[in-house]
Amino acid sequence: MKQKNFSIEFFPPKTPEGEEKLRATRAKLAELNPKYFSVTFGAGGSTQKGTLETVLDIKREGHEAAPHLSCVGGTRESIRAILQEYKSNGIRRVVALRGDLPSGYGAAGEFRYANELVEFIRAETGDWFHIEVAAYPEMHPQAKSPQDDLQNFVRKVKAGANAAITQYFYNADAYFRFADEVRKAGVDVPIVAGIMPITNYSQLMRFSEMCGAEIPRWIRLKLASFGDDTESIKAFGLDVVTGLCERLLAGGVPGMHFYSLNQAAATTALWKRLNLSA
């Protein structure tokens, strides 16, 4: 498993208690020996400071850290300043995104799409950063068509990305087909699968509604049937997601990125079942 890249994502905590809790979560997840920890970024800059602080904490603890950077609502000057800050702190990876502006947020900023951000990062900082971009095996919800989305993805990679991380999905065929189409379009970067553990039915439905990830009917019905029985939801979720990861690994996925939601238990359970640290 060692030649594959396994990474874990956090969001920046908003309170001192949240910071404390994330530190404890990180200590547990660090035992799994992931390649790096990434930290999300609120579009419009809402969590910009939190992203930097969390990333620096991770680095101080001796782990590789990758800040996410979303460009919507930003200016060339503001993005340049963030890149310089990361560079001067020895950060070598970044996950480059367009992001989504919170509703009611007026200014669209100077970047329209993630490919413009990738181009800008390369123009400003050369090869300093290893750049990852987002990929959507089930299509980005705003795309005109899957073909259009694929072309936009290819453009973004050609702008200078080293790799991609997917939105989460529960249908392995969607991933394999997407990865195939990307190769046929002449792009050969690793497409790491984004993995969302299943621990909470209503939260999963809410997220999936927003980001366009499909929850297959049989999974949805089964989860709904458990009602408030969180132990059964977690046990079923662990089985389903373990099965998904096993298929992905058997099919040659180059890596997996775990959306931890700042919780250690579900990611640890998956990691151990799959023996990923071996």
> Counting contacts by CB under 6 A, is residue 26 touching ligand FAD?
no
What residues from 178 to 237 belong to the interface with ligand FAD (CB under 6 A)? 194
Q: Which is nearer to ligand FAD, 165 or 240 (CB)?
A: 165
Whether residue 269 contacts residue 229, with contact meaning beta carbons closer than 8 Å, is answered with: no
Q: Which is nearer to ligand FAD, 233 or 255 (CB)?
A: 255
> Counting contacts by CB under 6 A, is residue 100 touching ligand FAD?
yes
C-alpha closest to that of 9 among 190, 166, 225: 166
In this chain, which stretch among 108-116, 174-182, 223-231, 260-268 interacts with ligand FAD, using CB under 6 A?
108-116
What is the spatial distance between Cα 73 and Cα 61, in angstroms, rounded to a whole number?
Answer: 32
> Counting contacts by CB under 6 A, is residue 93 touching ligand FAD?
no
The neighbour count for residue 180, using CB atoms within 10 Å, is 10
> Counting contacts by CB under 6 A, is residue 7 touching ligand FAD?
no
| Residue 131 half-sphere exposure toward CB, CA atoms < 13 A | 26
Q: Select the residue interacting with ligand FAD from 26, 93, 98, 234 (CB under 6 A).
A: 98
In this chain, which stretch among 40-48, 123-131, 220-228, 263-271 interacts with ligand FAD, using CB under 6 A?
40-48
CA gyration radius, the chain: 18
Output the six-digit token pair for 41.
């970024």
What is the spatial distance between Cα 204 and Cα 207, in angstroms, rounded to a whole number?
Answer: 5
> Counting contacts by CB under 6 A, is residue 65 touching ligand FAD?
no
What is the spatial distance between Cα 82 and Cα 142, in angstroms, rounded to a whole number?
Answer: 27
What amino acid positions are annotated as catalytic residues? 9
- Using CB under 6 A as the criterion, which residues of the chain lie in contact with ligand FAD when the complex forms? 40-43, 68, 70, 95, 97-100, 113-115, 134, 140, 142-143, 148-149, 152, 155-156, 165, 167, 194
